[in-house]
Amino acid sequence: MGLLYGLIAVGLSLIFGLMNIVNFAHGEFLMLAMYGAFFLFAFFAIDPLLAMPFVAAGMFVFGAAVYLLVVRFAMRAKTNVGMVQIFATFGLAIVLRGLAQYFFTPDYRSIQHSWLGGKTISIGGIFLPVPQLVGALLAIVAFGALYFFIKRTDFGRALEATREDAGAVALVGIDQNRVFALGWGLGSALVGLAGAIMATFFYIYPDVGASFALIAYVVVALGGFGSVFGAFAGGILVGLVEAMTALMLPPSLKAVGIYAVYLLVVFIRPRGLFGSI
């Protein structure tokens, strides 16, 4: 489960953590991706596992479009940039939820009889649900790829440089909007992967994103802004803490443990576990 939070958070760690842009619509991105997987399954009988590339591609286009149409303008503000970003994306989140209610109706939907759904696998006597396991593997792969991408490619360096000083990178010929639009596309594509896999074992409804989004923010901040590895570690830590809280407290309070650990960590280390900014 921790790696699952990690998987949701990996896209956010790119947008929120590395580009330092607040996206309060992250949960709604996840919701859209889950619906994407659902409709591909319902209309074209494409299994979510195969649908993943399509959902990711669709979310890539959507994320880049959101950056170019909305976020780009939110970053122009001279004062209170943070607040403008928060409320522009919060407004977007409400619009997306409204649109989902309008077009998809508020009904709960689920994908039955997918290749992965409901199956379990036994490893050394411990039964593990297959979809979660695939999600966990996917999270590890996604984090690894992102880490490599940021540290080893020109684009990754351009992204970090653009966050640091947009004016200076413009001088060396890097177009801020192009870099950030690609970054948003990529971050959204990663949410697309998370959404496609989660569609196989969660109910899908317009408000589904909200409950995951807050934990994703905590995961990114816990790990520390500017660190991909931090978000990965944050995801695992949150998963472990949740499992332990579940043993001691009633299930409705399990998130309290996660939040408490976040506070504990930032009180001791004000920049998260591995944060650089």
Partner 1 sequence: MHDVTHAIRRRRDLIVAAVLVALAACVPLFVKDVYVQNIMVLTLMYAGLSQSWNILGGYCGQISLGHALYFGLGAYVTAILLTKFGVLPWFGMLAGGLISALIALALGYPTFRLGGHYFAIATIVIAEIAYLLFLNWDWAGAALGIDMMVREDSWLKFQFLRSKLPYFYFALFFALAAWLVTWWLENSKWGYWWRAVKDNPDAAESLGVVVFKSKMGAGAISAFLTAIGGAFYAMFVSYIDPDAVMSFQFSLLIALPAVVGGIGTLWGPVLGAAILIPLTELTRSFIGGSGRGVDLIVYGGLIMLISLTRPDGLLGLFSRRKKEVAR
95 touches partner 1 (CB under 8 A): yes
The residue (of 201 and 205) whose beta carbon lies closer to partner 1 is 205
Does 256 bind partner 1 (CB under 8 A)? Our answer is: yes
Does residue number 255 form part of the binding site for partner 1 (CB under 8 A)?
A: yes
Q: Compute the distance between CA of residue 236 and CA of residue 121 in angstroms, rounded to an integer.
A: 21
> How is residue 225 written in tokens?
């802004």
For residue 186, the minimal CB distance to partner 1 (Å) is 20
260 makes contact with partner 1 (CB under 8 A): yes
Closer of 88 and 193 to partner 1 (Cβ): 88
Measure Cα distances from 2 to 69, 90, 151 in Å. Answer: 33, 26, 24
x/- map, 56-85, partner 1, by CB under 8 A: --------------x--xx-xxxxxxxxx-
**Would you count residue 180 as binding partner 1 (CB under 8 A)?**
no
Q: Applying CB under 8 A, does 247 fall inside the site for partner 1?
A: no
- The span from the CA of 70 to the CA of 64, in Å, is 10
Burial class (CB in 10 A: 0-12, 13-18, 19+), 3: buried
Check residue 225 for interaction with partner 1 (CB under 8 A). yes
Q: How far is CA 11 from CA 27, 76, 118, 187, in A?
A: 11, 23, 26, 4
Residues ≥6 apart with Cβ < 8 Å to 27: 93, 208, 209, 210, 211, 212, 213, 214, 216
Judged by CB under 8 A, how many residues of this single chain contact partner 1? 52
**Residue 89, SS3?**
helix
Beta bridge partners of 122: 127
Least CB distance from residue 10 to partner 1, whole Å?
Answer: 17
Residues of this chain that interact with partner 1 (CB under 8 A) are: 16, 22, 70, 73-74, 76-84, 86-88, 90-102, 105-106, 206, 214, 217-218, 221, 225, 250, 252-253, 255-256, 259-260, 262-263, 266-267, 270-272
